[in-house]
A and B are shown apart, each in its own frame.
Chain A
Amino acid sequence: MEEQELIRALVAGEPQVFREIIDFYKDKVFRTCMGFVHQREDAEDLTQEVFIQVFGNIRSFREGSAFSTWIYRIAVNASLNHLRKKKRLLFPTGFGWWTGASEEKERTSHHETSQSPEEEMLASELSELIDRSLATLPEKQRIAFTLSKYEELSQKEISAIMELTEGAVESLIFRAKKNLQERLLSRIKN
C-alpha cells in the first residue's frame, strides 16, 4: 500500500494496517527517540509508546495535515517527557547525573553486540558525551538540532513540527551548534 492509502486506512480505523504503519515509520520514530535518549532500549520503549499513542489518538489526527509531522511531534514529546521523568528520578539521589551516567554506561555496553569491547567502551563513552552535551542546550535548540542531525529533516519540516517559522528554526540550529562547540571545546581546555 502507498503511504497515503495506509494513512487513510488507519484513520478509517482498519487495524489490519497497523503492522504496515509501524514498519513504515518505526525507523524514523526510533531514530528521533535515539537522538534524545541515546540508548537503544529506552529508544525502543519510547517507539512503542509513540505508536500506542498514535493508534489510540488517531481520531485527533486531522486528515490533510502531514501524518509524519504529527508522528514526529508525538515522538519528540514522548522523548522530552521521558527525559524530564529521568531527571526527576536522578537528581534526588544526591550524586546527580554522574551516578546516572555510570549506570547508563553499563546499559549501553551490551546493546551493540557486533563491536569489540574496546569499541563498545568508546561507543558508550561517546554516547555519554553526546547525551551530556545535548542536555546543556535550551529545549528548543535541542529539538531543532536533534531533528536536523538525527533525522536530517529540512528546516521547513522542522518548522512544521515545532510550529515555528523557518527562520526561527535556522537560528535555533545555528545557536545550538555554536553552543555545542563552546561546550565541547571548553572540555579540552581542562
Chain B
Amino acid sequence: MECSEFKDQLQSMLDGQLSAAERSRMENHQQQCPRCAAELGWMQQFYGAIEQERRVTPSTELTDRILDQWALNRLKGRERNLVFGRVERLFIAASILIAILGGVKIGDLIHKMETKDRVPMELALLDDLAMEDIGALIEN
C-alpha cells in the first residue's frame, strides 16, 4: 500500500467503514510507515477530543437559572408595558386637546358667521375648561 492510498482511506477507517481485509492492509502499512502511523494517531486524538467534549454536561443549576432569567425578562417586559401605557395616555390627552381646540375653532367660525359680538366670552370659557381637563389628564 502506498502512503497516498492510506491517506485516502484514513477517514473511512476512522468512521469504521472499512472491511476486515481493507483494515488489515491499512494496519500493515501503519506498522511499516511511522509517518502514516503518526497521522492516524493525530486524527484519532482529534476525534477522541470531540468525543470527550460531547460528554461534558451542563451544571445542575442550569434549569433554575433559565427559569429565573425567564421570570426576570417577563417582569421587565411588564414594566416596559407600564411605561408604554403612560405614553399612550399622554397621546390620548393630546388628541383630546387637538379635538377640543379644533371644535372650538370651528364653533368660533360658525359664531363669527352668525353674530359678530357674542363670541370671545364663550371661547375663553371653553378654552380654560379644556386646559384644566388636559392638565388633570397629564398629571394622572
Contacts and interface: CB of A to CB of B under 8 A. Distances in A.
Interface of A: 18-19, 22-23, 26-27, 30-31, 34-35, 38, 40, 43-44, 47-48, 51-52, 55-56, 111-112, 123, 126-127, 129-130, 133, 149-150, 177-178, 180-181, 184-185, 187-188
B47 to A, nearest CB: 8
B109 to A, nearest CB: 51
A177 B17 CA distance: 14
Interface in B38-56: 38-39, 42-43, 45-46, 49-50, 52-54, 56
Contact of A178 (B11, B52, B66): B11
B66 A48 contact: yes
B52 A126 contact: yes
Contact-residue bracket for chain B: 20 to 34
B39 A130 contact: no
Given A48-B65, A51-B66, A52-B73, A185 B49 contact: no
B70 A18 contact: yes
A34 B50 contact: no
A52 B10 contact: no
A23 B58 contact: no
Given A126-B49, A188-B39, A188-B42, A177 B11 contact: yes
Contact of B57 (A27, A48, A178, A180): A27
Contact of B11 (A44, A129, A181): A181
